[in-house]
Chains A and B, each alone.
Chain A
């Protein structure tokens, strides 16, 4: 029963297991889908999908599998009323308002209808879906997009339509990190907790028993370390020119990390394309903020978890040649790759985050140097999923 749907879900990247599928079958046998597609939509989602990050994929799979099962899309009276009441562009910026003046309500309605219809068909990662992208005319809110509002009344709506609305698109983890997702990403960094250092303040039962026995039965309490987050992190960022397109996302990561208070210590350093004998404490990478990389390694003990952030794209000479540094006044006696290898040896836990999406690593202009650096550092793309992988990597020694 619906076994194709199971495989379709898997194909869309929802991690479903046999256990969950059997649970769903049990629930269906008990009539818990309430004999309706909407009921089935919610039931299957509750049983099969275990993260809001996968809701969107589930919606896509559902819409594709059950497309056409229910009546075709209609705009309800309610939606039209709502449109009439709620679309005055009061919170739109002046430029946008100009565009807006050229549209009348009828036109808007038509467009909305059209867009809803488009949405039911092929729609993978388009940019003007109602309310979610932030670029559509039909709403700018991520949290309260018009789409949610339209689909909110699930009782008289078809499940396919609810699915097609893709209200949970914002939760997808494979998209590049945006403002909202940063909070989540940062929480993940809390995974980096460790038990190897810190004060001993918890009772060690085994130790107590042993020591008490050693003392001939006179109770002696032994203590062990608590489980606080004792992690120390250093973020080393490329602030070179090729990073400009990614500056926004990088500064978001920077700000977000800066605000996070759950690390025991957090340091920031900068470099321009590649690291040589100097590393900088300021994003401008001027000599007045320079620190000898040797001193840097002395200052930051190997137990710091090192996160390198850069596009790793540069002229091969910058990485492999003596005096290859991009700044003409800068001379380096050792090629950049040697310094990178040295840093990789120094930090027992290190990863490289790359704002360039992983599928392009083989094809982009800098792919030669990207691949050279990938041999030195485990590289992850700068998305929520990539960051997650990086955090996992940071927990184990290389």
Chain B
């Protein structure tokens, strides 16, 4: 049992992964390829890496990508400015460049004594060339530090999880090397399981009302930002903390600000709520109007 848990990912206590997603993860792990995850914001892309690390009992390293991040920073940083400053005062030994080389997250992952899970979060935020700059390192799992002549080689091939919000297209050469999975928005049954995992003691009635209101809001056409899973979880939390009775949820939509983040969306939903002929509760998510 223990041994199986080490090699086969099947979701964790607080993260429900669909069968497809589990398969994709396991394929990526077995083949040693990076796993590229796309999906609507709030569908748990980042959480997946945590869950993999927890489920397989491996350490998680997170490399958060920003618009200014360069590929080399993930490997190592050579702090030249510090070295130059130090050289002016002469109170440090500047002859050894090694003191000024700091490993980035990828370098850390390579040098870890055990296999780790490396999350490269929101890769699409970086510059267009960023993924291409990482191709070689991800492929052969080693890199050189020309300043010291060292070669850092992965002791254990890390499990690489890459998330993308599709803000930019990723280069084909990069995509070819990845295993790809698109996390579809969970359907009502799946969503129920997800909410229950996070709030196990939730009264049934409250959950149903909240879910209905949630899918009703998602069904309204013209929303700029549809509420997502993570927002539903926060909302349910707010409803519980606020002690809202289930009857009120569909009628008044309390704490709407947790679900909707844009003024216009707020107004749209409130308008629809006030129209008497519009049902505030949806019979089932399957037949909602979307436009």
Chain A interface residues (CB < 8 Å from chain B): 15, 17, 19-20, 23, 26-27, 30, 32, 34, 39, 42-43, 45-47, 49-52, 55, 82, 85-92, 131, 134, 138-146, 148-149, 152, 154-155, 167-168, 178-179, 184, 187-188, 190-191, 202-203, 205, 208-209, 212, 217-219, 221, 226-228, 259, 388
A-B contact pairs, 8 of them (CB 8 A): A32-B23, A42-B23, A50-B170, A91-B219, A134-B291, A139-B287, A142-B290, A209-B80
Do A187 and B167 touch across chains, with their CB atoms under 8 A apart?
Answer: yes
- Does B289 make an interface contact (CB < 8 A)? yes
Do A42 and B24 touch across chains, with their CB atoms under 8 A apart?
Answer: yes
- Does B224 make an interface contact (CB < 8 A)? yes
Q: A140-B290, A141-B290, A203-B81 are in contact. Are A50 and B284 (CB under 8 A)?
A: no
Q: Which residues from B are CB-within-8-Å of A149?
A: 187, 285-286
Do A91 and B288 touch across chains, with their CB atoms under 8 A apart?
Answer: yes
Contact of B179 among A39, A46, A88, A92 (CB under 8 A): A46
Q: Which residues from B are CB-within-8-Å of A87?
A: 287
Within 8 A of A (CB), among B21-52: 23-24, 26-28, 30-31, 33, 36, 38
Q: How far is the CB of A311 from chain B (nearest CB, A)?
A: 24
- Does B177 make an interface contact (CB < 8 A)? yes
Q: A143-B185, A191-B128, A218-B88 are in contact. Are A50 and B287 (CB under 8 A)?
A: no
B164-181 near A? 1/0 per residue, CB < 8 Å:
001111101001111111
Q: How far is the CA of A91 from the CA of B127 in the complex (A)?
A: 44
Closest 7 CB pairs of A and B: A86-B284, A50-B175, A52-B182, A142-B290, A140-B289, A141-B290, A46-B24
Nearest residue (CB) in A for B126 is A227
- Does B241 make an interface contact (CB < 8 A)? no
Contact of B279 among A91, A154, A227, A228 (CB under 8 A): A91
Q: How far is the CA of A311 from the CA of B283 in the complex (A)?
A: 43
Contact of A50 among B36, B84, B88, B290 (CB under 8 A): B36
Q: How far is the CA of A85 from the CA of B215 in the complex (A)?
A: 17
Q: A17-B176, A148-B187, A226-B68 are in contact. Are A46 and B279 (CB under 8 A)?
A: no
Q: How far is the CB of A31 from chain B (nearest CB, A)?
A: 10
Q: How far is the CB of B163 from chain A (nearest CB, A)?
A: 14
Q: How far is the CB of B41 from chain A (nearest CB, A)?
A: 11
- Does B221 make an interface contact (CB < 8 A)? yes
Q: How far is the CA of A212 from the CA of B85 in the complex (A)?
A: 11
Q: Which residues from B are CB-within-8-Å of A148?
A: 184, 187
Do A179 and B175 touch across chains, with their CB atoms under 8 A apart?
Answer: no
Q: A145-B286, A154-B19 are in contact. Are A190 and B168 (CB under 8 A)?
A: yes
Q: Which residues from B are CB-within-8-Å of A221?
A: 81
Contact of A15 among B84, B170, B172, B290 (CB under 8 A): B172
Contact of B287 among A146, A152, A227 (CB under 8 A): A146
Q: A46-B24, A139-B286 are in contact. Are A179 and B291 (CB under 8 A)?
A: yes
Nearest residue (CB) in A for B183 is A52
Q: Which residues from A are CB-within-8-Å of B208?
A: none
Nearest residue (CB) in B for A54 is B180
- Does B67 make an interface contact (CB < 8 A)? yes
Do B127 and A227 touch across chains, with their CB atoms under 8 A apart?
Answer: yes
Interface residues on B, range: 35 or more
Contact of B31 among A26, A141, A145, A202 (CB under 8 A): A26
Q: How far is the CB of B25 from chain A (nearest CB, A)?
A: 9
- Does B282 make an interface contact (CB < 8 A)? yes
Do A184 and B290 touch across chains, with their CB atoms under 8 A apart?
Answer: no
Q: Which residues from B are CB-within-8-Å of A187?
A: 166-168
- Does B3 make an interface contact (CB < 8 A)? no
- Does B20 make an interface contact (CB < 8 A)? yes
Nearest residue (CB) in A for B40 is A143
Do B287 and A140 touch across chains, with their CB atoms under 8 A apart?
Answer: yes
Nearest residue (CB) in B for A153 is B189
Q: Which residues from A are CB-within-8-Å of B188?
A: 144
Q: How far is the CA of A167 from the CA of B185 in the complex (A)?
A: 12
Q: Which residues from A are CB-within-8-Å of B257?
A: none
- Does B203 make an interface contact (CB < 8 A)? no
Q: A32-B26, A32-B30, A90-B279 are in contact. Are A227 and B286 (CB under 8 A)?
A: no
Do A219 and B88 touch across chains, with their CB atoms under 8 A apart?
Answer: yes
Q: How far is the CA of A179 from the CA of B286 in the complex (A)?
A: 20
- Does B57 make an interface contact (CB < 8 A)? no
Do B167 and A144 touch across chains, with their CB atoms under 8 A apart?
Answer: no
Q: A46-B179, A208-B81, A227-B67 are in contact. Are A152 and B189 (CB under 8 A)?
A: yes
Q: How far is the CA of A43 from the CA of B31 in the complex (A)?
A: 12
Q: Which residues from B are CB-within-8-Å of A134?
A: 290-291
Q: Which residues from B are CB-within-8-Å of A90?
A: 279, 282-283
Q: How far is the CB of A176 from chain B (nearest CB, A)?
A: 14
Q: Which residues from A are CB-within-8-Å of B67?
A: 227-228
Q: How far is the CA of A47 from the CA of B282 in the complex (A)?
A: 38
Do A140 and B288 touch across chains, with their CB atoms under 8 A apart?
Answer: yes
Q: How far is the CA of A203 from the CA of B68 in the complex (A)?
A: 12
